[in-house]
A and B are shown apart, each in its own frame.
Chain A
Amino acid sequence: MPALAGSLALVASHPTSVRVAPDPNNAGLKLPAGFGALVAAETGGKARHIAVTPQGVIYVKLNKVKDGKGILELHSQPNGKATMTGGFGDYGGTGMYEKNGYLYASSDHAVYRYKLDGKGEVTAPTKPELLVRGLKVGSQHESKSIVLDNADNLYVNIGAYANACQEQDRTRGSKGIPNCPILDSAGGIWQFKANQLNQRYPDGTRYATGLRNVVGLDWNPQDNQLFVMQHGRDQLHDNWPELYGEKESAALPAECLYALTKGSNAGWPYIYYDQQKKELMKGPEYGGDGKTPSTADYLKPAAAYPGHMAPDGLLFYTGTMFPAKYRNGAFIAFHGSWNRAPEPQAGYFVVFQPFKNGKPDGQWEVFADNFAGSAAKAASGRADHRPCGLAQGPDGSLYVSDDQKGTIYRIVYNAKK
């Protein structure tokens, strides 16, 4: 690492001495009063999840290796802009998480960790420790997002490689396979040890099942519980046109926030959650008709959001920079929909979900909007930027990554308190 980068990190580690100025146009974002945003960096890569160390070093996981690098390292300057200072990791992927002096990263079939030094820098970039390998990867929902609890456990999402476990995936009228075989090795959250090398499926536990695909997940420090955002199923109308209209199919099912405990079963592919009826519904692949609620005992969502908006990032905010109402609440990055056509597409924003005592409390609201660039670009799905990963800086700034153009945003609160 160059000496310069080290001294910059030192500056960033004293957040009170740093005056971070938002861009004049707030990086193109629409924010609540008192907030500002800046483009911290343009990485030009498919920036998935991000992590910021206590020293302020920013790590960005790229979905696809760029110039030989799958992880980028950035250092903040006093004005808040970040400079690319290095990169490593010859694999694409999504997962990026920092905890207790280690940086954790995932490819689509493995999880690695890297030791961090006192400056928050990776000590051996070319020699990661392989924690977990051999994870199932199909041709959809490949990403493995990761988070740790406070007891050295690592949680890994293994997405179901199907829409609704049909005999023929995404095919009109195709029935669901009984006892969906995908659930043996995917469609859930697996728990592994955060400090044990070379683990495979038998070394881990299927912590929660019946989750189609989770990208955004975080450990809630308030009630010590894992929260995940599920990507709900697609194509109710396409595959079951006699049961669902286009408008219904654009709105349903909900994108759900779940509070998990060991053994939770959220019911995919047998059910979906209808946020309008506020009921778990039998899936059409398994005998449902769009009207019949499920009587089975599956986990109910802790909160529900409109369909297909693709929640890719979840973060519990614990900082003090933002006003008190945000503390211990959740930010959710909605990557934006594709499965609403011919209805307008939706999402492409970061939502705030208030929490109280570790549970969602009150109505969610759009916090950071206009990643798409305009309402028309959001409606057509041709967004300029698509929010994906979320991380909190040591000063309480909120970082948001964009996997469309690779922009790293930094959102700050500037109003006098």
Chain B
Amino acid sequence: MALAGGALSLHAQHRPTPAAKAKAPTKADPAMAASITRGAVVYKNVCITCHMADGGGVPNMNPPLIKTEYVLGDKARLAHIVLAGLAEPIEIDGNDYKQHMPAQNYLTDQQVADVLTYVRNKFGNKASAVQVAEVKAVRATLPK
């Protein structure tokens, strides 16, 4: 904690704006923190309706985004779910999810990277950021 606080205050010295000071002390990576902030907006606009504010989903309809192998695992597969949707029955905690997830390919690469970075660091999740280049690479594999 002391270390993180020190690093942050050091960083705050370089950009001494009040907004930067107000940032949570654990977010040591400013680029990632900014991505998470932007991702929260995308989540609220797009994903919240199905996966809910707490990421817990809707039983037997929309799966939770809490520590699932999809969320925490391979980033290309994760970006593929958002860009192309998902249509494979899955079971999480005894609940069956058969409904398909529609593709959200109208989102920009930046928005997809942001929302996935957000999801991977929210709802008790902790994982590395998703980069714009990683999303771009997945989009290139999809039919136009």
User: Is A64 an interface residue, CB under 8 A from the partner?
Assistant: yes
Contact with B along A166-201 (1 / 0, CB 8 A): 001111110000000000000000000000000000
Complex partner residue of A341 from B49, B59, B89, B100, CB under 8 angstroms:
B49
CB under 8 Å from chain A, chain B span 72-130: 87, 89, 94, 96, 98-100, 102-104, 106
Contacting chain A: which of B2-10, B14-22, B50-58, B132-140? B50-58
Residue of B nearest to A172 (CB): B106
User: Is A339 an interface residue, CB under 8 A from the partner?
Assistant: yes
Q: CA of A342 to CA of B53 in the docked complex: distance in angstroms?
A: 7
User: Is B61 an interface residue, CB under 8 A from the partner?
Assistant: yes
Q: Are A139 and B99 in contact (CB under 8 A)?
A: yes
Main secondary structure of the interface of B (DSSP, over half): loop
Q: CA of A324 to CA of B98 in the docked complex: distance in angstroms?
A: 44
Q: CA of A315 to CA of B75 in the docked complex: distance in angstroms?
A: 49
**Size bracket of the B interface:** 20 to 34
Quote the shortest CB–CB distance from A336 to chain B (angstroms): 10
Q: A169-B100, A338-B62, A342-B44 are in contact. Are A382 and B49 (CB under 8 A)?
A: no
Complex partner residue of A404 from B49, B59, B99, CB under 8 angstroms:
B59
Q: CA of A169 to CA of B87 in the docked complex: distance in angstroms?
A: 12
Give chain A residues whose Cβ lies under 8 Å from the Cβ of B100. 139-140, 169
User: Is B48 an interface residue, CB under 8 A from the partner?
Assistant: yes
Q: CA of A171 to CA of B106 in the docked complex: distance in angstroms?
A: 10
Q: A168-B102, A170-B102 are in contact. Are A63 and B58 (CB under 8 A)?
A: no
User: Is A312 an interface residue, CB under 8 A from the partner?
Assistant: no
User: Is A370 an interface residue, CB under 8 A from the partner?
Assistant: no
Give chain B residues whose Cβ lies under 8 Å from the Cβ of A140. 61, 98-100
User: Is B37 an interface residue, CB under 8 A from the partner?
Assistant: no
User: Is A149 an interface residue, CB under 8 A from the partner?
Assistant: no
Q: CA of A63 to CA of B94 in the docked complex: distance in angstroms?
A: 12
Q: CA of A242 to CA of B106 in the docked complex: distance in angstroms?
A: 15
Q: List 27 A-B contacts (CB under 8 A).
A: A46-B60, A63-B60, A64-B96, A139-B87, A139-B89, A139-B99, A139-B100, A140-B61, A140-B98, A140-B99, A140-B100, A170-B102, A171-B102, A171-B103, A172-B104, A173-B106, A338-B52, A338-B61, A341-B49, A341-B52, A342-B48, A342-B53, A380-B52, A380-B54, A381-B52, A382-B54, A404-B59
Which residues of B are in contact with A by a Cβ distance under 8 Å? 44, 46, 48-50, 52-54, 56, 58-62, 87, 89, 94, 96, 98-100, 102-104, 106
Q: A140-B99, A238-B49 are in contact. List 8 more A-B contacts (CB 8 A).
A: A64-B94, A64-B96, A140-B100, A170-B102, A171-B103, A338-B52, A338-B61, A381-B58
